[in-house]
Each structure stands twice: as C-alpha cells, then as structure tokens.
Amino acid sequence: MTETHSAGTSSTDSLARPGLLLAAVLVAVLVVPTGVSGTGVALPDIAADLGTAPSALQWVVNGFNLTFAAFSLVAGSLADHLGLRRGFLLGTGLFGAASILSAVAPVILVLDLARALAGVGAATIFACGGALLGTQFDGAARTKAFALFGTVAGVGLGFGPSLSAAAIALVGWPGMFVVNAVLIIIAAGLALRCGVVDVLAAHRPPIDYRGALLFASGLALVIAGIVQASEWGWTAPGTLLVEAAGLGLLALFVVVQRRSVNPLLDLSLLADPILIGLLLVPVAGAVGFVTLLTYLPTFLASVWQLSTATVGFVMLIMTVPVIFAPIIAGRLSHRGVSPRVILTVSVALYVLGTVWLTVIGTDRSIVTLVGPPILLGAGFGLGVGLVDGAAIGSVPPAKSGMVSGLVSTVRLGSEAVVVAVYASVMTTLVGSQVHKLLPSSLPAEVVDDATAATASGDLARVDAVVDPALLHQAYNNAIHPALWALAATSAVFVLLVGILLRPKRTDTAILDPLREKLS
C-alpha cells in the first residue's frame, strides 16, 4: 500500500483496510454479472405473474444490458468528478434501489425500467471498482487483486443462471432481486468501512456529455428496433425508422468524437488490426455463449418441461468450465502457445458446441445436456482470461485506461445487441411455427396468445386450449435454424480472429509480455 495512489483516492496505513475494500469490490462484481446472464432463468416465472408480451419480456434482459453497455463509456469520467469511492457507493446505491424496485414491480413496464436503472448502477460499479483496486494496491498484491476481480466477475456471469435458479426455487423470482439487493448493500457497507478517502484533482477532464448522449441514444434506438421487430415486423416502417435514427445518431457520435478535444473514445485506436481482432473475441462470446446462456433455459423449461431448479443445474454444466478454462489458458500461454492460437481455438469451440447442440429435440437427452455446454463454457473461459490483458498490452500505456473501457463497452454492447437479435429472431421463428402447426380453425387471438406463451416459456397458461405437444414442437422447430445461424456466425469469427491476430514482427514484442503476466 502507498500513501497516495491517484488523484481520485487516497489512503493511509492507519485508516485504510485493503481487505475490506477488496471484499467490497469482489462482492459487487459477483452480483452484477448475474443481471446479464441470470435474469433469463426467471422469464417464465415473470411471464406467469406480469404478462407474456414477448417484447416487454425481452426488455427485462435487454434493458439491463443496454444501459450497462451505454453508460460504461461515461462512468469513468463521472468517477473522476465524484471520486472513485463515491462513484462506487453511487453505483451500489443505484443497483440496490433498482433491485428492490424490481422485486416489488407490479407490472412488466416498471420491471423493465428498474432493470435499466440497475444497468446504470452496474456500469458505475465496474468502472469504479476496478479503478479502486488499481489505485489502492501495488505490486504482487495488485496482481492478485485483479486476478480475483476477473475470476469473480467470470463466476458471476457463468454461474448467474444457476444462482438465480436457486434463489427462484427458494423464494420466487422477486426473491432473486432481493438477494441481489442484500449482497450489494453488504458491498456498500464494506466500502464505507474500508477507510479509503477520495481526493479530487484540481484539474479534472470534462465529461463529454454530448458524446455520451449520442452514444446512449443511438445504441438504445438500435436495440429497441431489434427488440420490437418481432412484434412490428422486420421491414415495418416503424422498425426501419427506429433503426435508421439509431444508426444515424451513432454515425453522428463518430463525427463528434473525431472533433472532440476530450472524446469518450479515441477512434484512432481502431486502426490497429490486432486490437480489432481482440475486440472480436468478446463479440464472438456474445454470439456463441451469452445468447444460449440467457435463452437456452427457456427451451429447457418450455420444451423439456424442466423445473427451475433442474434448469439451474443443467446450466451449471455450461458454466463450470468458465472457472477452469482461464487457468488452462494461462498455463498454455506460459508454455509458449501464442494468444492468437488460444483465442482462435476458444472461438472455434463455439462452433463445435453449437453444431452439436443442433441435435437437440423434444425428447430429453443427457448427452446433449452435457457435451455441447462443456464445449461452449470452455470456449468462453479460454477467451475471457486473455482478451483484456492482450488488448491493454497492444497499445501505448497512456491509452491503456481507454482501451480497458473500450473492451468493456464492446463486450457489454455486443451482448446487448446480439441477445436482443437472438430473442427477436426466436420470437419471430416461434410465431411462424405456432401458426403453421396449430389448427387453422382456432381463433386468431388464441393463436397469438399461444405464440406469446411459447416464446416466453409459460406454456401452462394455454395448456387448456392448445395441445402442449404442438407448442413443444413449435419451439423445437424454431430453435434449430437459430442454432445453425449462431454456428455459422461463430465460424466467421474464427476466420477473422485468426487472420487479424496474426502478429507482424513489430507486434510480437507487444503480445509476448502477456505470457509473463499470466504465468
């Protein structure tokens, strides 16, 4: 520990308690990622209580992902003005309040808004939590702290479905959010007791409010258009208008960033093919892992009729490799295997796992439950331990903080967009299959109700009027083309990552130090 580490925070040996600070950050980064991956498990239960409108249900997941991604760009600048400790406490306060509001939400709209607010708090927690560790720990202690930070964040994301399923089985879906609130309050209490004091710099960089507004608004409109496409139609004027407005705002964001003295993002960084290749790895993870981590539980509950607790156990099979694969990646790198090979293999495992998963059917299969999830989890684990360090090491030290934020934004933004696309496509495919399989003599409102119930996994609500076997078959028929699309997209990422990460002679010196850090 040192007496003063940055303009943002300071501590003294007599006041600061590094163990409490580390515990506070780790508790928070364990809880926050469950909002990305764990909420999908609760969707059938939420649908049964609050309604089954597909687009509204999708926003329970997408609203959190969207604000988490969009606000990550500005959270660091906000922390510079408030102080890292104050910023962390603000983030925990927002996340805790949003979790309580989620638990007591009387209608789906309130739940959607609460999850969006939770995403803002989550972005602030991650931005300030990581920076707190960076400023309050030195040397080997700092290395260990960040290793724990990454591992715990991965465990939170990977085990989100299982942890959420356990909480739902015990106390229902509102209880899942209450547990999150309690844990985040504990994190805030530890942060209050850790003894770190904020010291604000005299000259602080201004927040690029214009850039932040353009980016958040543009991304929100793009995702909103994707989510609503399943209800409005992909070529409907409303969908095209919203998408065009979103893309236009993002294009304007690029123009503004090029002219800004203090941009949220230095766009010149994106001229480096090595960095682009590294950024594509978390995008591939969103396609090949996070989509299925979020929505495979709906298939298991809807088609295989598994209980929430059983679904949680099944998803545990998919997430256990996330703990062990980063260790394997580190050892391989230490023995001379290049990050390019490891990351390309990690993306290739998404292809293999998804293709294997296409054999899934209406009959339960233990082999299908075990094999593909292990491959998918291993692919995600191999990549998650390397990308951040390699990306930071690929740019000059002065740009390392910005690149760290860029990786987080790309990871979260791609998850928000890809999950929204997958959910919207699945809703469209399910609707097509339901209309195809149900008797044409049924009233249109019954068919529409059956479509919504099937897409959300709440089949019990329509069992009395529609043959559930037909709805099981409809969802099963719909998921296969979606899986093949995920596999094909992942295959493209295998090629791109392998090509872009091919080191030039001048790049070898940049990537080699990563092995030493991971050893």
Q: Give the integer Cα–Cα distance in Å for 175 and 163.
A: 12
Nearest of 313, 311, 289, 300 to residue 457 by alpha carbon: 300
pLDDT band at residue 203 using 50, 70 and 90 as cut-offs: low
What is the Cα–Cα distance from 250 to 221, expressed in whole angstroms? 10
C-alpha closest to that of 125 among 78, 87, 180, 153 = 87
Q: CB of 72 within 8 A of CB of 215?
A: no
pLDDT over 60 (residue 4): no
The reported pLDDT for the residue numbered 456 is: 72
Sorting pLDDT into bands at 50, 70 and 90, what band is 491?
Answer: very high
Mean pLDDT score of the chain:
81
- Phi-psi sector, 206: left (phi>0), alpha (psi -120 to 50), beta: beta
Q: What is the pLDDT of residue 437?
A: 87
pLDDT in tens, 226-259: 777 767 888 899 999 999 999 999 999 999 988 8
Which one, of 413, 405, 399, lies nearest residue 271 by Cα? 399
Torsion sign (Cα): 247, 250, 252, 254: negative
Model confidence at 14, pLDDT cuts 50, 70, 90, reads: very low
Give pLDDT, residue 181. Answer: 94
In tens, the pLDDT along 317-359 reads: 887 888 778 778 777 877 778 888 999 999 999 999 999 999 9
> Rounded to an integer, what distance in angstroms lies between the CA atom of residue 389 and that of residue 177?
32
- Residues 190 and 455: their CA atoms lie apart, in Å, by 41
Segment 284-293, tens digit of pLDDT: 999 999 898 8
Residue 291 amino acid letter: T
Q: Are 219 and 416 in contact (CB under 8 A)?
A: yes
Average the pLDDT over 2-21 and give the result.
54
180-198 average pLDDT score: 88
Say which range, 200-209, 254-263, 290-299, has the weakest mean pLDDT. Answer: 200-209
DSSP 269: G
DSSP 414-455: HHHHHHHHHHHHHHHHHHHHHHHHS-TTS-HHHHHHHHHHHH
pLDDT confidence of residue 97: 96
With a cut of 90, say whether residue 415 has pLDDT above it. no
Alpha-carbon torsion (87, 75, 34, 108), positive or negative:
positive
Percent of the chain with pLDDT over 90: 25
pLDDT at 507 over 50: no
Residues 6+ apart with CB under 8 A from 223: 62, 66, 246, 416, 417, 420
Percent of the chain with pLDDT over 70: 84
Of the candidates 253, 203, 290, which has an alpha carbon nearest to the alpha carbon of residue 73?
A: 253
Paired strand residues for 10: 4, 197
Residue 103 corresponds to which tokens in the numbers above?
A: 């638990």
Does the pLDDT of residue 511 top 60, yes or no?
no
The label of the residue with tokens 């295959």 reads: 491
Give me the mean pLDDT over the 422-427 stretch. Answer: 86
CA dist., res. 88 & res. 72, Å (int): 13
Q: Distance between the two ends of the chain, CA-based, in angstroms?
A: 23
Section 448-476 average pLDDT: 79
**How much of the chain is in helix, strand and coil states, percent to nearest 5?**
80, 0, 20
pLDDT tens figures, 150-178 = 678 777 877 777 788 888 888 888 988 99
Amino acid at position 349, single letter? L
The three-state DSSP-derived secondary structure of 141-169 is HHHHHHHHHHHHHHHHHHCHHHHHHHHHH
Q: How confident is the model at residue 365 (pLDDT cuts 50, 70, 90)?
A: confident
- Checking if the pLDDT of 111 tops 60, the result is yes
For residue 311, pLDDT beyond 60? yes
Q: DSSP 3-state assignment of 9?
A: strand
- Choose the most confident range, by mean pLDDT, from 69-73, 83-87, 444-448, 499-503: 499-503
Residue 11 banded pLDDT, cuts 50, 70, 90: very low
Give the per-residue pLDDT at 376.
93
Report which DSSP code applies to 287.
I
Confidence of residue 27 (pLDDT cuts 50, 70, 90): very high
Summarize pLDDT for 270-284 with one digit per residue, the tens. Answer: 888 888 999 999 999
CATH of domain 1-205: 1.20.1250.20
Q: Which amino acid appears at position 173 of this protein?
A: W
Alpha helices in 194-261 (DSSP H): 209-232, 237-259
Which residues are CB-contacts of 322 (< 8 A; sequence separation ≥ 6)? Answer: 154, 155, 157, 158, 159, 377, 380, 381, 384
Report the pLDDT value the prediction gives residue 357, as an integer from 0 to 100.
92
Q: In the predicted model, is pLDDT for residue 22 greater than 80?
A: yes
Tens of pLDDT, residues 392-406: 666 665 565 567 667
Highest mean pLDDT (candidates 30-34, 278-282, 309-313, 439-443): 278-282
What is residue 379's predicted lDDT score, i.e. its pLDDT?
A: 92
Q: Which residue has the tokens 């999850």?
A: 115
Strand partners, 101: none
pLDDT classification of 302: cutoffs 50, 70, 90: confident
Q: Are 29 and 129 in contact (CB under 8 A)?
A: yes
What is the pLDDT confidence band of residue 123, given thresholds at 50, 70 and 90? confident
* Range in 1-5, 38-42, 221-225, 355-359 with the lowest mean pLDDT: 1-5
Q: Is the pLDDT of residue 490 over 90?
A: yes
